[in-house]
Amino acid sequence: MQYDRTDIEEMLANALQDRGISFLEQHPTRSGFVLDFVIAPNIVLEADGPCHDGSKNRRRDRFRDRILKNEGWNVFRLSYQLINNSNLLKNKLDEILYNKY
């Protein structure tokens, strides 16, 4: 099945590709969740668009992140505001990739 990236996911994928970072996208997990981007062995990048701003969705994301953490994933949520700012995105990716979190 072909997956069409959202605009935010496209921007993040391009930023990763520009830096030569290999990734898997739409990666299924044991718990049934699908991860936006997996880099390294256990780092997850979630590209959160505006729909993640609501309190109900934030609670759902926190619940999901706890389950993923218990499975051994390190989840990083990148907001659309961050992804839309190339300097902020570069700094955040450096922080994640070079274990400064």
Domains of the chain, by residue range, sit at 7-97
7-97 belongs to which CATH class? alpha beta
pLDDT band at 1 (very low <50, low <70, confident <90, very high): low
What's the pLDDT tens digit per position in 6-65?
Answer: 999 999 999 999 999 999 999 999 999 999 999 988 999 999 876 656 678 788 889 999
Query: Long-range pairs for 94-99 at CB < 8 Å and ≥24 separation?
Result: 96/43, 96/45, 97/21, 97/39, 97/40
How many helices (H) and strands (E) the chain has is answered by 4, 4
DSSP state of 64: H
Residue 90 confidence (pLDDT) above 80 = yes
pLDDT score for 53: 64
pTM for the model: 0.87
Query: For tokens 């400064």, what's the residue?
Result: 100
pLDDT score for 73: 97
Angle between helices 7-18 and 86-97 (to 10 degrees): 60
